[in-house]
Chain A
């Protein structure tokens, strides 16, 4: 158990819908990262937050957004869902926002299926 929690574990929804994925980082970690794992794209970095502020953006679609709240949990919002958004979404956390000795610990992931 990495100490990072993600809910829900599984999510099944229809095209055009909107969903919210939730992540709670390890105690003491200030950074949260979101990654998407799909069959065709592999594991891709989406976005990073550090202590409530967006720190870095990767290959995140405009239909997707995220935020980190004062209690440091984070939510990833996916809207106007398409079939291709079906994937495993991982959250990871770390103490710092970059630099050395900044190990990332992964949550168990949320499996999103868009029908």
Chain B
């Protein structure tokens, strides 16, 4: 079974600085997707960025970028120029790219609570 681990329960960053959130995962599959979701105090789950495992190029969405190391099964999120609105829980998630069984659902890590200091 696949697992996702986020080893940093809490992180803090100064406004306008850069912060990196860590995520490792375990899978025997070769084709999958990885995601970072943001959950602000409103509790809404917001997709921040996604990465296809077959793509070597790291995904980027504005101030958010990932460092995807497939061999190391590592998937970190870098937030540049941090803003107060970035304060939230961040969840790393895995989903199989295959059909069948329970592979359509997301498998989440425990989350990292990010605080942004003004």
Contact = CB atoms under 8 A, between A and B. Distances in A.
A24 interface: no
B25 interface: no
A45 B96 contact: no
A57 B102 CA distance: 7
Contacts, number: 67
Interface residues of B, number: 26
B57 interface: no
Contact of A99 (B52, B91, B98): B98
B53 to A, nearest CB: 10
Contacts of B62: none
Interface of A: 2, 31, 33, 35, 42-45, 48, 55-58, 88, 90, 92, 94, 96-100, 102-104, 106, 108-109, 111
26 contacts: A2-B44, A31-B104, A42-B108, A42-B109, A43-B91, A43-B108, A43-B111, A45-B102, A45-B105, A45-B106, A48-B104, A55-B104, A56-B102, A58-B105, A90-B45, A92-B45, A97-B99, A98-B100, A98-B103, A99-B98, A100-B33, A100-B97, A103-B47, A104-B106, A109-B43, A111-B43
